[in-house]
Amino acid sequence: MIEKMELLDVDKLIEEFESMTKDAGNVQRETLKKILEENGCAEYLQNLGLNGRTDPESFKACVPLVTHNDLQPYIQRIVDGSSSPILTGKPITTISLSSGTTQGKPKFVPFNDELMETTLQIYRTSYAFRTREFPIENGKALQLIYSSKQSKTKGGLIAGTATTNVFRNSQFKNTMNAMQSQCCSPDEVIFGPDFHQSLYCHLLCGLIFREEIQFISSTFSHSIVHAFRTFEQVWEELCADIREGVLTSRITFPSVRSAMAKLLKPNPELADLIHKKCLGLNNWYGLIPELFPNVKYIYGIMTGSMEPYLKKLRHYARDLPLISADYGSSEGWIGANVNPNVPPELATYVVLPDIGYFEFIPLKENVEEAKPVGLTEVKVGEEYEVIITSFAGLYRYRLGDVVKVTGFHNLSPELKFICRRSLMLTINIDKNTEKDLQLAVEAASKLNTEEKLEVLDFSSHVDLSTNPGHYVIFWEISGEVREEVLEECCNCLDRSFVDAGYVSSRKINAIGPLELRVVQRGTFQKILNHYVGLGAALSQFKTPRCVGSTNNEVLQILCNNVVKSYFSTAF
């Protein structure tokens, strides 16, 4: 079956993409027309008085910009089982749970066949460009992908994370095969009910098929780093399983056990080889190419909140190329990475003009009054908030992401992801984004390197319970660290927020000294478990980088695990 599968025609895909982006303006108009024609009978659009008009001007005049909160009542009715056309012409039968990192709880968003098709389209597009630069043979991929629990809503709709809805769709596997990217693990592992057990089995499958593995991937690169950090803990157990051909008793789910039993045969030579390789590594540097000699690259979303994991990923990957995957969300896809040669720090995403209708709110002007501009009207060098109109019932939906236009690919803009708009440390006139926090942590953790210390993960919080309020940065670090170094790290963090509002407020003590709180090992794993418990999946997990007071449970996990705290003396 797999052998007969037709491979994708890479040249044709690239040609299609080129001609579509050359005509981006018209394609956008046509896409909007198609969306509005397909969904014109939906109650939401009917109420806005479009009366069948499908041109961008009428659309913008009649349809307001909305946030998820505005659409919540409509989505809730769908979730509760109303089968009338509410947001889309065809009824929605599946719901996606977005990771909800910002609010602390997952949001419901509609999922449908059109969204599935655009997902596969973007996968195919970036695959075509990637494969031209980094050809792969017809082997396997170690895909560190996980499903969330798929549940039924009160109204009988299927609900799971967007990635789960994608992985469960039969077309996903066909497309992976056509992209020579067949996952080396059986479905029982991907859809296993416990992600710890699935992770272990993914690693085991990877080792069993080590010679065939062509690339390693995940949705967000956090899952790759997480997997190899776990490998450091369980490698001997993995070797023992391979040696004996018997799966560890830690894997308890019968479906997973029986699927693995079909793959696992006693193989002492392989166990010895892996054992020797692991012992030969220095602090696990180059682990990935040692384990998987034919891997061509590592693939997953590596920008935005994933950037802090790049250092560790490079450590494991040695000189293997790291390629950032595409840009999208549970609400819809936006752009493809068509320049796989570019390092992840510089990765940009070209908007696919036919997967949705896109508008951009310029962020230079006063936001409330700024008028959104169309896809081909954006300006290079400017920052914007992304507005999506999708085939899945979202119209002029504020995604909440900030992007910068870095150039154009033909007539379609190339976007660099900057940050989530709402994730902002602010007390009075100071404004610091997720990116500012990341840069501050990078600067401060450099002080650590000579001590061979590593910031495993981090988050932050604005503490207004003190007067004046102050920033709190949470760090999980590996190893023992001298007090003086951490005191200096704390000062460095404080100094690294160079925003003029912050610096001037600190100087007059309108913002109190920054506090660095070191948390116990495993704290961020507890946060991950917390989100998975809410219905999230490891595949879509993003560490919340700024935790607001409303996200009380995550804040409690952080605060309850503090082992040491330091106050800055930098000002």
Helix (H, G, I), strand (E, B) or coil at 458: strand
The minimum distance between CB 455 and ligand AMP, in angstroms, equals: 20
> Residue 243's closest CA among 227, 258, 264?
264
The minimum distance between CB 297 and ligand AMP, in angstroms, equals: 16
The minimum distance between CB 421 and ligand AMP, in angstroms, equals: 9
Instruction: Using the structure block, give the residue that is written with the tokens 């059986």.
Output: 186
The minimum distance between CB 500 and ligand AMP, in angstroms, equals: 26
Decide if residue 162 touches ligand AMP (CB under 6 A). Answer: yes
The minimum distance between CB 535 and ligand AMP, in angstroms, equals: 12
Residue type at position 11 = D
The minimum distance between CB 558 and ligand AMP, in angstroms, equals: 21
Decide if residue 539 touches ligand AMP (CB under 6 A). Answer: no
| Cβ-proximal residues to 560 (8 Å cutoff; 6+ apart), any chain | none
* Contacts (CB under 6 A) with ligand AMP, residues 125-144: none
Q: Give how far Cα 395 sits from Cα of 84, 96, 119, 386, Å.
A: 18, 17, 18, 12
Query: Do 374 and 390 touch, CB atoms closer than 8 A?
Result: no
The minimum distance between CB 570 and ligand AMP, in angstroms, equals: 30
Decide if residue 303 touches ligand AMP (CB under 6 A). Answer: yes
Q: How far is Cα 128 from Cα 119, in angstroms, rounded to an integer?
A: 14
Closer CB to ligand AMP, 260 or 325, in the complex: 325
The minimum distance between CB 146 and ligand AMP, in angstroms, equals: 13
Q: Which of 31, 94, 98, 496 binds ligand AMP (CB under 6 A)?
A: 98
Closer CB to ligand AMP, 420 or 470, in the complex: 420
**Structure tokens of 237?**
């157990």
Query: Do 133 and 208 touch, CB atoms closer than 8 A?
Result: no
Residue closest to ligand AMP, measured at CB: 304
Decide if residue 111 touches ligand AMP (CB under 6 A). Answer: no
| Cβ-proximal residues to 184 (8 Å cutoff; 6+ apart), any chain | 140, 141, 142, 143, 202, 205, 206, 208, 209, 212, 213
Closer CB to ligand AMP, 139 or 328, in the complex: 328
Decide if residue 86 touches ligand AMP (CB under 6 A). Answer: no
| DSSP states of 136-197 | --S-EEEE-------EE-TTS-EEEEHHHHHHHSHHHHHHHHHTT--BSS-HHHHT-S-HHH
Tell me which stretch binds ligand AMP (CB under 6 A): 77-85, 113-121, 131-139, 300-308: 300-308
* Long-range contact pairs involving 278-286 (C-beta distance under 8 Å, separation at least 24): 278/235, 278/239, 283/315, 284/228, 284/232, 284/315, 284/316, 285/315, 285/316, 285/318, 286/316, 286/317, 286/318
Query: Do 330 and 338 touch, CB atoms closer than 8 A?
Result: no
Helix (H, G, I), strand (E, B) or coil at 4: coil
Q: Which of 99, 126, 181, 218 binds ligand AMP (CB under 6 A)?
A: 99
Closer CB to ligand AMP, 161 or 185, in the complex: 161
The minimum distance between CB 475 and ligand AMP, in angstroms, equals: 22
Closer CB to ligand AMP, 303 or 505, in the complex: 303
What mask of x and - would describe binding to ligand AMP in positions 347 to 386, judged by CB under 6 A? Answer: ----------------------------------------
Q: Which of 148, 540, 543, 568 binds ligand AMP (CB under 6 A)?
A: 540
Decide if residue 399 touches ligand AMP (CB under 6 A). Answer: yes
Please give the backbone phi and psi of residue 228, each rounded to the nearest 5 degrees, phi first: -80, -25
Query: Do 478 and 454 touch, CB atoms closer than 8 A?
Result: yes
Closer CB to ligand AMP, 149 or 275, in the complex: 149
Kind and range of the H or E element at 386?
Answer: strand 383-389
Closer CB to ligand AMP, 416 or 470, in the complex: 416
Q: Crossing angle, helix 113-133 and helix 10-22, to 10 degrees?
A: 110
* Contacts (CB under 6 A) with ligand AMP, residues 420-479: 420
The minimum distance between CB 105 and ligand AMP, in angstroms, equals: 12
What mask of x and - would describe binding to ligand AMP in positions 312 to 331, judged by CB under 6 A? Answer: ---------------xxxx-
Q: Other C-beta atoms within 10 Å of 370: how many? A: 15
The minimum distance between CB 425 and ligand AMP, in angstroms, equals: 17
The three state secondary structure string of 72-137 is HHHHHHHHCCCCCCCCCCCCCCEEEEECCCCCCCCEEEEECHHHHHHHHHHHHHHHHHHHHHCCCC
Q: Which of 286, 304, 393, 513 binds ligand AMP (CB under 6 A)?
A: 304
Query: Do 318 and 288 touch, CB atoms closer than 8 A?
Result: yes
Closer CB to ligand AMP, 136 or 334, in the complex: 334
Residue type at position 439 = L
Q: How far is Cα 486 from Cα 448, in angstroms, rounded to an integer?
A: 8
Q: Which of 191, 360, 395, 417 binds ligand AMP (CB under 6 A)?
A: 417
Decide if residue 418 touches ligand AMP (CB under 6 A). Answer: no
The minimum distance between CB 541 and ligand AMP, in angstroms, equals: 8
Q: How far is Cα 430 from Cα 500, in angstroms, rounded to an integer?
A: 7
Find the distance separating the first CA and the last CA of the chain, reported in whole Å: 67
Listed in sequence order, the DSSP H helices in 463-561 are: 483-496, 500-507, 523-533, 552-560
The minimum distance between CB 330 and ligand AMP, in angstroms, equals: 3
The minimum distance between CB 304 and ligand AMP, in angstroms, equals: 3
Decide if residue 519 touches ligand AMP (CB under 6 A). Answer: no
Tell me which stretch binds ligand AMP (CB under 6 A): 142-150, 246-254, 268-276, 297-305: 297-305
Decide if residue 301 touches ligand AMP (CB under 6 A). Answer: yes
Q: Which residues bind ligand AMP (CB under 6 A)?
A: 98-99, 162, 301, 303-304, 327-330, 399, 401, 417, 420, 540
